[in-house]
A and B are shown apart, each in its own frame.
Chain A
Amino acid sequence: MASLYERLGGEAAVNVAVERFYRRMLGDERVADYFDGVDMDRQMAKQKAFLTMVFGGPANYSGKDMRAAHAHLVTRGLNDGHVDAVIEHLGGVLKELGAADADIAEVAAIANSVRDHVLSR
């Protein structure tokens, strides 16, 4: 069976999803402060890599990258609530793009699998 990445439409779909995802994150006061002063283009590139990974696309992003990328945020108080917000927004974007509930659950599971890396545990 084709991966979710392929079923959603590959890179073009990720490009749409990443904008919507990033817009939701910046607009959510629970997590928005963590993006203050962050270069938007670089951040989008990272989020694109992240979405590609959780959609099961060509992976060039790993849990180790996630750990290194978020370590400085953990010292600023990043916690499970923030990861929950990310997964919630991922699900919201996927729903907008017409993904099935089973696919959304699968993406949430993949995102959950890097939770401990993100939180330096």
Chain B
Amino acid sequence: MPTIHWREQAIEAPTGQSALDALLNAGVVIPNACRAGACQSCLVRASAGELPPQAQAGLRDDQRARGEVLACRLPVNDGLHLEPAGPLSIAGELILTRRVLPTDSVAVLHLLPPPGLRPLAGQLLHLIREDGLSRPYSVASLPDDTLIELHVRQVPGGRMSTTLCDTAPIGARFGVRGPFGDCTLRDGEQDRPLLLVGVGTGLAPMLGLARDAYARGWRAPVTLIQAGLNEAALYQPEALTALTAAWPGLDWRRVVLQAPASDGVEVGDVVEAAKTSYAAAPSARVYLCGDAAVVNRLRRALFLAGASLAALHADPFTPTA
């Protein structure tokens, strides 16, 4: 049976078990959610041991260089020494400052960040409840904003979303890790078109990117597609109202799968809508966010339409265990 180490503690674990399960079984508190290498909740650092590529998939080069690794994708192996991912990823506490409920099932949260935490629009933050429960959310605000904006869909029976959408009082504190991810605008690309597609609360990072593009004085066309099951699902956060009013040049499309729809709202498949916008600007950098099934369909369709995977940034929501 392989032996791994968490700091000074030796832990025996059966061959084939993930380091995450081994640590949890030994009573170590490790935030975790998807257990599939997507959410990066279980990020730890390895000071020794074998790290297969899949255990570092999706991490930035600097994270890999520090030995950061996803415990859920890391099989235990003799000589593995693990420790917390370090002060770089533990960012402190967020204070819930304001909560707006644009629909029954979505909350727009504004949170006061700790000093030094200035996530870019489109990056991920992990909110950690006091019992260790952790979930990732995408940032809709800009680094210079006083408050960080996150959008949360209330999942029936969802533990974290019920806390955030309903039961947590204003003033509640949450641990935060991050920011993570490269679903962000690239410097010096103001002349490159953008295609931003947000399904459901996948709108949050897309709204953030659109606001960022406006703030940077984007010169090339920018299309923001907001999609949902029906018109009631097309929530409109205040920042979106403000942005579309300030930026008439923004191509803002709203697409719903189910009729009826008011004027200005299209009925159809978001994949087809994205394809028409992509065809009009095939040099665009593309950003996609929403439920994994539709994001993966979008990604495949736009790849087939000619988009390079290097210019296709997908941020799929993966179900949590």
| A interface residues (Cβ-Cβ under 8 A, vs B) | 19, 22-23, 26-27, 40-41, 44
- Residue numbers in B under 8 Å from A44 (CB-CB): 309
A40 touches which of B300, B306, B308 (Cβ 8 Å):
B300
Number of interface residues of B (CB under 8 A): 9
Using A19-B303, A40-B296, A41-B309 as known contacts, list a sample of 10 further A-B pairs with CB atoms less than 8 Å apart, ordered by residue number in A.
A19-B308, A19-B309, A23-B303, A23-B304, A26-B303, A26-B304, A27-B304, A40-B299, A40-B300, A44-B309
- Residue numbers in B under 8 Å from A40 (CB-CB): 296, 299-300, 303, 309
Q: Judge if B57 is at the interface, Cβ distance under 8 Å.
A: yes
CB distance from B306 to the nearest CB of A (A): 8
Nearest opposing residue in chain A for B57, CB measure = A41
- Residue numbers in A under 8 Å from B296 (CB-CB): 40
Pick 5 A–B contacts, CB within 8 A, sort by A: A19-B303, A27-B304, A40-B299, A41-B309, A44-B309
Give B270-321 interface residues, CB cut-off 8 Å to A: 296, 299-300, 303-304, 306, 308-309
The list of the 5 closest CB pairs from A to B, nearest first, reads A27-B304, A26-B304, A19-B308, A23-B304, A40-B299
- A22 and B300 alpha carbons, distance in the complex (Å): 11
Using an 8 Å CB-CB cutoff, how does the interface string of B24-57 with A read, 1 for contact, 0 for none? 0000000000000000000000000000000001
- Residue numbers in B under 8 Å from A22 (CB-CB): 303
Tell me the interface secondary structure of chain B in the complex.
helix
CB distance from B73 to the nearest CB of A (A): 12
Task: Let me know if A26 and B300 touch, CB within 8 A.
Answer: yes
- A26 and B304 alpha carbons, distance in the complex (Å): 7
- Residue numbers in A under 8 Å from B299 (CB-CB): 40
- A95 and B61 alpha carbons, distance in the complex (Å): 34
- Residue numbers in A under 8 Å from B304 (CB-CB): 23, 26-27
- A23 and B306 alpha carbons, distance in the complex (Å): 8
- A19 and B308 alpha carbons, distance in the complex (Å): 7
- Residue numbers in B under 8 Å from A27 (CB-CB): 304
- Residue numbers in A under 8 Å from B306 (CB-CB): 23
CB distance from B293 to the nearest CB of A (A): 10
- A49 and B304 alpha carbons, distance in the complex (Å): 21
- A27 and B306 alpha carbons, distance in the complex (Å): 11
CB distance from B181 to the nearest CB of A (A): 14
Give B169-221 interface residues, CB cut-off 8 Å to A: none
- Residue numbers in A under 8 Å from B300 (CB-CB): 26, 40
CB distance from B3 to the nearest CB of A (A): 29
CB distance from A112 to the nearest CB of B (A): 27
CB distance from A121 to the nearest CB of B (A): 29
CB distance from A89 to the nearest CB of B (A): 14
- A23 and B303 alpha carbons, distance in the complex (Å): 7
- A12 and B229 alpha carbons, distance in the complex (Å): 41
- A11 and B303 alpha carbons, distance in the complex (Å): 21
Nearest opposing residue in chain B for A45, CB measure = B53
CB distance from B82 to the nearest CB of A (A): 24
CB distance from A62 to the nearest CB of B (A): 17
CB distance from A16 to the nearest CB of B (A): 9
- Residue numbers in A under 8 Å from B303 (CB-CB): 19, 22-23, 26, 40
- Residue numbers in A under 8 Å from B308 (CB-CB): 19
- Residue numbers in B under 8 Å from A26 (CB-CB): 300, 303-304
CB distance from B283 to the nearest CB of A (A): 16
CB distance from A24 to the nearest CB of B (A): 10
- A98 and B308 alpha carbons, distance in the complex (Å): 20
- A91 and B299 alpha carbons, distance in the complex (Å): 26
CB distance from B72 to the nearest CB of A (A): 15
Nearest opposing residue in chain B for A18, CB measure = B309
- A22 and B309 alpha carbons, distance in the complex (Å): 11
- A26 and B307 alpha carbons, distance in the complex (Å): 13
- A26 and B300 alpha carbons, distance in the complex (Å): 9
